[in-house]
Every structure is written in C-alpha cells, then in structure tokens.
Structure 1
C-alpha cells in the first residue's frame, strides 16, 4: 500500500515544509500538543499522523473540549477542525469502560469514514474501539458489531437513531456529542433526527458544534440544547483565504472546450470539477475521458461500495481529476487538490463556499475557476456580495505561484 510520501511524490507535491501556508493555519499562539497534558500514547498517534503543532482552531478548541464545556466553533474548511475535536474525544475516552462514550455525527458517509480514520490513527496506541455506522450499509453487521466493545461511534444521524431506538446502540453513558458540518446537520432534513438522538444521551452530556457557516437554525438549537457554550469564531475575513478565484464567461456549448484549455494550461496536482446534477456529472466524466485525461466521478446515486472505492482511490492519488455533485463538498479533506472548477456555477453562497473550500486545504494555496453563462451573472454578483469576496475575470496566463507553491 502506498504511503503518504509515495503518493505525494506521485502527485509531484513539494515537501510539506516547502509549501506556502496561509495565516488561518500559521497564525497560532505558539502552543505545542504537549502543552495540553495529553496521554503519551495519544501524543505518539498525533505525531505519527504528521501533526507538528496545533492550528488556530485546535489551539482554541482542544483545551475547552478537554474541560468538558459545550462548544460552538466556526472555522474555515481545511484548517484542522477534525483533529480539533477528535484529539480531546480520544483523550477523554476511558478504554477500560466497555460502553459508547462519544458520538461523532456527520452528514455524509464519506465524511464518516474519513473522521473514523482520523480517530483510529490518533488512538493507534490506545485500546480504543472506533465504529462507523451509516445508511446504505448492512444493519445486521452494525448490530453484530455493537455487541462487541465500542467506545466511539462515528455516524450519520438516521442510522444511529435506528440503532438507538432498537436498544442496540446504548447511549445512556455517551457524554460527548460532536456535530461536524453542524449547519448541514441542523437543516430541515436532519434536525428532527438529531433532536430525537439527543433524547437518548444523559443529561450531563457535552455538545460540540463545528462548521464553516452558521445559519439561523443554529441559534435556536444552541438556546435549546447547549449550556453556556464557549464560542469560537475564526472566520473573520478567513472565508476564502488562500484561494484565488476567477471566472470565465462562456456559452453552455463552449464549456467542455474551455475545460480542455484549462487542463492544458494549468499545473494541476489534483482537481475536483463540480456539476449541478447527477446526469451532468456522468456525461462530463465521459467527455473528459474522451479528451484523454484521467478522470473519476462520484455522486449520491452510486452504490455505496462504488463511492467508497472512488473516494479511496482519488484520495490515494490514483487519478488526477474527479467530477462530482455537491455530495463531495462537505468536509472531504484531500490536501493535494489545488484546483476546483465549477463547470456549473452553484445557486447559493454556502454551496460556493463549501465547493471552493476543497482547494487550499490546511492553509495551502488553491485556485477556483468558475465557468459562467449569461444566466449565472446575477448569482455571481450575489455570491461575491454575500461572501465579501472578489471573483476576477480569468487572465490569459495564471501565475503558478498563486496555487502551486
């Protein structure tokens, strides 16, 4: 199996230390992981995973989470949010007690697998059992797994409520609830299930919410369920830091030609190309392959096993380009993605923010190119206004230092 360094070489990535990072990752207080009095075995997992020093969101979040406080944290995608809650969760779990002690809720299956992997790697030298449970997988297998010792459950809301209501997932001693991509988990699709789930937790629970955007729904939830939460907001002017954004004004029929030109001119480590519908994802992936470029595609209507394989292979650098629906915008952390292309321009600012946040991960530089038709022009202006950002016309040549260093 390829190591991190193997696939970084395969993708021609410069060594970690040589890559320019933006200040939303580098502007720290100078803390060290050792400052938090973590278990030695956890520190071994942290350093083996390649984490050197805490990022700003980790500096703000870890000590508060360790103290058992409720947290409402807002930070840009790709600044280390996952480790900001996984580290204190792993630290606070008691491996000698064979009960579920932490529940990490996420909105998508891919993010569940990725988060569980981070927990497993961090707790490599501790006897902590981590389980993933999501819709679209065998319920029977999950039931069998829960008869064995489980300390941390990473889940999508519907499946874990199902298991809790059957009395299989016993959450009466689960005192830590983390909600990652909390804005999505508190959308009308998920919120009733999340509130039902909280009913299974003990009264002295700790609830931690992490997200890049916090719509109004979060305020009502905070007032109902959180006790004097510690507010962390690292989003002042950091929304799209490190990502250079351009638009190309094109007719619909010119889009594929324009994409071909971009592929030939840009220095792409890996790219994600977004479409607004499942059909367009598959059609575009076929076109890109016909043009002679390596390309995968992913969307919500694919079999879960197929999605897992595509995600795993793309993450390991087996393919340079991925065509995706909005399924892939949330929390998916692939640091080698340095270019995002909106083949179809999104309808709202939140979707734009999450899509573009796939490049420029963990403080590195990234590039976003938007293919804009006449019908998109009002949306473009609206999104610029809402995010307080500028999307510039694409120049004839894009300097590599903007997204490659």
Structure 2
C-alpha cells in the first residue's frame, strides 16, 4: 500500500494544497520519485502513462519554488505537445495556492503577446521545445536562473524530432541544474541520448513499460473491414463512460467522425490539421463528458491525459508496435480499470501478429461472424468470444435499425 502524501517529506503548505484538491494517497511513482527528487539528484524514471508522474515532478518543483527568492525563471518543464503543456499548467495551478505564481506557457497556437508578458514575472515555465527554441533565438526569454529541468515524455519528444531543440535549450541552462527525466519507454538508444542531459541519475522504473497495465482488459476483434463501423457503433452505444477511438490518418479521423455523428453519436476529433482552439475545445468537451467519444490520430493525441477513459478502441492498427501501448495507456490510469479493444481485419492479421511478437503479448481474440451485407435486412451480427475475454458480457448484436442507417449512408 502506497503512503499518504502526509507521510512524504513535503511541506505542510503543499500537503494542504493536495488535500484541498482531493489528492490524499500517493501512487507508487509519486512515493518513489518525490523523495528522490527532493534530494536534489538527477532522476531517470520510466513509467507507464496514467501513473501520476505529473505530480511526481510538480511537487518537487513547488517545494523548490517555495524556497527560492528573487526574480527569474527557476523551473522549466519541456513536453511534446501543446495539449500536455496546458494540462501540466492546469495541474500546477491546483498545487500552487496563493504563495506561488502562475506558471507561464510557451507553446504554439496561442497569443505570443500574452506569453511574452507572462514570462516577465514567471518563475516556472512549461514549454514545447520548438516554441521555446524560437523564443530563445529571438531573445524573448532568459533561462540562466533555471534550477530544475524536467523532460516529460522524453521518448515522445525524441520520436517527434525535438532532440536538436532540446540540446540547444539545455546549452543555455546552468550546468549545476537538477534534471528530472520521465519516459514511458527507455530503450538503449533513448537512454543513451537522455544520458547527455543528466549526471549520475537515480534510475527508477515502475512496472512493465512495454505491456499494458494489469488494470486494462485487452481484447482483439477479428472483424471484416465492412463490419468495423457497425461493430464500433455497437461498442460505443453500450459504453457508459468516455471512449477514445484511434485511427491512423487525419483523413480517416474526419471520415469516421462524420460517420459516427450521422449515426447519432456525439463524437469529437483530434488531429494535426485542427486549429489550436478546435483541439482545445474537443479535448475540453471530452474531458467534461459533453462529448463522450473522441476520434484521434497518434500524433495529435500524444501527451494527452484524460482521467476516467473507460474504453480505448483501436479502430485501425498503429504503424508502430509501441504506439499500441501508448494508445492502451489512455485507459486504466492511476489504478482505475479500463477496456482496450483492437479491430483486426483479415488483411491486418499478419501485422497484428508482428505487433504481438514485438511486445511479447498474446491478446485474446473475439471473432465476429457473418457478413454485414447479408445481415442488414435479416438479423444481427454476432460477436463470439470466450468468458476469459469478456467476462459477464453479452453477445454483441446489432439491431436492424442501426444497420439500416449504414446501408442507407
């Protein structure tokens, strides 16, 4: 059993802010990383998404800022996406109370004038590497007072090509800073690169970062391509909670979202061609439950953390095996349970087996019998599986009126 925050070596003020926001019990990541970070040593931590790692670095940052006097930026967090930067800033807002200043964002798609103004009094900055590098090049920000650097989702930042920008940013920071690095995966190549930014780090790992969390029920539907849409609608209509649906392309996200809306399901979408305001709105609607279905591409969804996602559906297979872990990691977060489904069309079977081999997984299959075209007028499509795959679940049947909508559309 992990300790209460009151049992960790953190100040009474931070404990009060945590309690006010209903944070009482730490996660394993937090109970290990927070005391380690408070020693001032560099940290290299690997953990699955949904383990509470954001607070694991925000609490040490808050403690550092409470002890720091004077102007200047004293803490810097680099993240891969604008959406994650906003979420980190929002969580810090809960933690800072009245004693600490608001964090400043340096991200694209937002008012540059407002960001420059916020930097004038900021002690804490959350930024995407490309945007911050641009600000440095134009001499809009000074980082000579930074005491703590956090690389959040370091593997993702490297995947997205941010290494040159991170290097140039690090060159402007004091050599005596503390660096906290958090990564969902840490293969030898990533570890070698990240090693350039830390000095004799404490290394901690939490669970398997190459497999889904134990709290996630994982299942694969063997389904014909022309049945995927109807099966998806049925799964979505039976789910009470938030559902995140992954596709491979921006065009595919547009098309699937239109089809779901035509079928009467409230669905939003998230992909790289959406404006920042559209992406923020879609994420906010999904977070507050106004739109319980979000269709997303892998790139657009990187770094998004939404609590209480009940079901992740891989409508299309990811291009990379590790992306399946990142997708599935959106559910079953911080001890909650969740379901993750993978749609496997006939032409995808060899690719899916390759993903299983790469990840060392064997995912239970659920077979979808019957041709959708033949069932549209006469009866249901039946999903057959074993109790081990879907304990307590009913056979999935598609009502005739549902199928007729697809036949007409």
1:255 aligns with 2:203: no
Worse-superposed segment, 214-223 or 53-62? 214-223
2:164 is aligned to: 192
2:143 is aligned to: 171
1:335 is aligned to: 307
1:282 aligns with 2:254: yes
- Among 110, 115, 126, the alignment partner of 1:137 is 110
RMSD: 2.0
> How far 1:46 moved relative to its partner?
1.0
- Among 123, 126, 142, the alignment partner of 1:154 is 126
Aligned with 1:117: secondary structure? helix
> How far 1:32 moved relative to its partner?
2.7
1:208 aligns with 2:180: yes
Deviations 1:180-199 (A, max 9, x none): 11101223611010011000
Distance 1:391 1:145, change over 3 A: same
Deviations 1:163-217 (A, max 9, x none): 2233321110101110111101223611010011000100101111112111333
> How far 1:383 moved relative to its partner?
1.9
Worse-superposed segment, 219-228 or 193-202? 219-228
Aligned with 1:186: secondary structure? helix
Are 1:274 and 1:344, in contact at CA under 8 Å, matched by a contact in 2? yes
Stretches of structure 2 that go unaligned for 5 or more consecutive residues are: 367-382, 394-409
Are 2:143 and 2:172, in contact at CA under 8 Å, matched by a contact in 1? yes
> How far 1:158 moved relative to its partner?
0.9
Distance 1:400 1:204, change over 3 A: farther
TM-score (norm 1): 0.87
* Distance across 2 between alignment mates of 1:320 and 1:157: 31
Distance 1:370 1:238, change over 3 A: closer
* Distance across 2 between alignment mates of 1:125 and 1:185: 32
1:100 aligns with 2:56: no
Aligned with 2:255: secondary structure? helix
Distance 1:288 1:173, change over 3 A: same
TM-score (norm 2): 0.86
Are 1:45 and 1:124, in contact at CA under 8 Å, matched by a contact in 2? yes
Distance 1:188 1:258, change over 3 A: closer
2:45 is aligned to: 73
Worse-superposed segment, 308-317 or 30-39? 30-39
> How far 1:272 moved relative to its partner?
0.5
Are 2:225 and 2:346, in contact at CA under 8 Å, matched by a contact in 1? no
Aligned with 2:196: secondary structure? helix
Are 1:89 and 1:102, in contact at CA under 8 Å, matched by a contact in 2? yes
Q: Residues 216-365 of structure 1: matches in 2 within 5 Å?
A: 216-236=188-208, 239-240=211-212, 241-264=214-237, 266-365=238-337
* Distance across 1 between alignment mates of 2:281 and 2:242: 17
Worse-superposed segment, 132-141 or 366-375? 132-141
2:406 is aligned to: none
Q: How many residues align?
A: 372
Are 1:247 and 1:369, in contact at CA under 8 Å, matched by a contact in 2? yes
Deviations 1:257-301 (A, max 9, x none): 12122234x333010011100011011011111111111111111
1:115 is aligned to: 88
Deviations 1:13-67 (A, max 9, x none): xxxxxxxxxxxxxxx4x42322333222211211122211111000110011111
Stretches of structure 1 that go unaligned for 5 or more consecutive residues are: 1-27
* Distance across 2 between alignment mates of 1:237 and 1:89: 25
2:401 is aligned to: none
* Distance across 2 between alignment mates of 1:400 and 1:227: 51
> How far 1:396 moved relative to its partner?
3.5
* Distance across 1 between alignment mates of 2:194 and 2:257: 42
Are 1:249 and 1:373, in contact at CA under 8 Å, matched by a contact in 2? yes
2:374 is aligned to: none
Distance 1:263 1:313, change over 3 A: closer
| Greater radius of gyration (CA) | 2
